[in-house]
Amino acid sequence: MVIGDVSGKGVSAAFYMTLAKGIVQTQALMTPESTKETLSRVNDVFYQQIDRGKFISMIYAIFDYDRHRMIMSRAGHNPVLIKKSSNASPESLTTNGMAIGLTKGTLFSDELEEVELSLKPGDLYVFYTDGFPEARNNAGNEFGEERLADVIQKNSHLRASDIVQQVRTEIGTFVGDTPQHDDMTMIVVKIQ
C-alpha cells in the first residue's frame, strides 16, 4: 500500500506523482520484504530525475496477512491513524523519515525508520493526505487531526469504504460551501 503527496500543484505535480508511482513499482519488486530499503531506493532514483525543490511525502506499507503483520516506513507524510481492536480511540503513528527528493545518499536512509506491527481482526489503519485535516471552513478554521480521529472512532464499526464516506460527509458539513483547496486521498484498511 502506497500513499503520497507531491509538493506543488498542476501538471508538473501530476507528472512527478506518475514518475514516483513507476519507480515505487519497480523498486518494490527488488526489495519485497523491506519498506525502508524500497523507499531508500525510490529516493535515490527520484532525486536524480527531478528539479531541486520538488519532493513527495509518502508512506509505503506491506500488509502480510499470512504472518499477521504490517511493515511500514513513512517518508515525511502525515501520520497513520491506527485503531487497534482493543483500544478505545485511534492512535497516531509517526515514524522518522524525510520526504522523498529532498536529499540523496545515506542522509535519507539513515533518517528513515521501518516499523512492524502485528495485525489482529478488527484493527483499522487509516492513511490520508493533508487535505483532510487542513480542510477549512468559511471562518478559516481547519478540520484538524483531532476531529478526523473522532470521526474514525465514531465509525470504526463500519466497513472501510463506509468509513471513508463518513469522513467525506463530516468534512463536507464542516467546510460548507468553502472551495476545496487541496487534494484529498484516503485509504482505510480494516483487518478481518
Whether 180 shows a pLDDT value over 90: the answer reads no
Q: In the prediction, which pLDDT does 183 show?
A: 81
Helix (H), strand (E) at residue 111 = helix 106-111
- Fold of the domain built from segment(s) 2-190: Phosphatase 2c; domain 1 (3.60.40)
**CA–CA separation, 34 and 82 (whole Å):** 21
173 CB contacts (<8 Å, ≥6 apart)?
none
Q: Model-level pTM? A: 0.91
Domain ranges of the chain: 2-190
What are the cell numbers at 164? Answer: 471513508
Reported as a single tens digit per residue, the pLDDT across 88-138 is 689 999 999 999 999 988 999 999 999 999 999 999 999 999 989 999 999
Angle at 140 between CA 135 and CA 143, to 5 degrees: 35
